[in-house]
Amino acid sequence: MTKQQANWSPYDNNGGTCVAIAGTDYCVIAADTRMSSGYNILTRDYSKIIQLVDTSVLASSGFQADVRALQKVLAAKHLQYQYQHNKQMSCPAMAQLLSNTLYYKRFFPYYAFNVLGGLDREGKGCVFTYDAVGSYERVGYSSQGSGSTLITPFLDNQLKSPGPLLLPARDAVTPLSESEAIDLVKTCFASATERDIYTGDKLEILILNASGTRVEYMELRKD
Partner 1 sequence: MGGSYGSTLRYKSVERLKPVGKHSLIGASGEISDFQEIMRYLDDLILSDNMWDDGNSLGPKEVHNYLTRVMYNRRNKFNPLWNSLVLGGVKNGQKYLGTVSMIGVHYEDNHVATGFGNHLARPLLRDEWRENLTFEEGVILLEKCMRVLLYRDRSAVNKLQIAKITEEGVTISPPYSLKTFWNFSAFENPTHGAEGSW
DSSP secondary-structure letter at 184? H
Taking CB under 8 A as the binding criterion, the range among 11-19, 88-96, 114-122, 136-144 that sits at the site for partner 1 is 11-19
In the complex with partner 1, the residue whose CB is nearer, 63 or 128, is 63
> How many alpha carbons fall within 13 Å on the CB side of residue 40?
4
Among 54, 76, 108, 215, the residue binding partner 1 under the rule CB under 8 A is 108
Q: Which of residues 2, 7, 10, 169 is near partner 1 by CB under 8 A?
A: 10
Task: Indicate whether 63 belongs to the interface with partner 1 (CB under 8 A).
Answer: yes
In the sheet that holds 212-219, the strands lie side by side as: 141-145, 17-22, 26-32, 202-209, 212-219
Q: How far is the CB of 41 from partner 1 (least distance, A)?
A: 8
**88: which residues sit within 8 A by CB, 6+ positions away?**
53, 54, 55, 78, 81, 82
Question: Can you tell me which of 69, 93, 133, 197 binds partner 1, judged by CB under 8 A?
Answer: 69
19: left (phi over 0), alpha (psi -120 to 50) or beta: beta
Which one, 69 or 172, has the nearer CB to partner 1? 69
Nearest to 17 by CA among 143, 118, 158: 143
Decide: is 111 part of the binding site for partner 1 (CB under 8 A). Answer: no
The answer to whether 216 and 37 are in contact (CB under 8 A) is no
The residue range among 8-16, 94-102, 172-180, 199-207 that interacts with partner 1, by the rule CB under 8 A, is: 8-16
Distance CA 153, CA 56 (A): 25
Site for partner 1 in 125-154 (CB under 8 A): none
Report the residue from 1, 8, 166, 223 that binds partner 1 according to the rule CB under 8 A. 8
| Chain residues that interact with partner 1, rule: CB under 8 A | 6, 8-12, 14, 35, 37, 40, 42-43, 45-46, 63-65, 68-69, 108
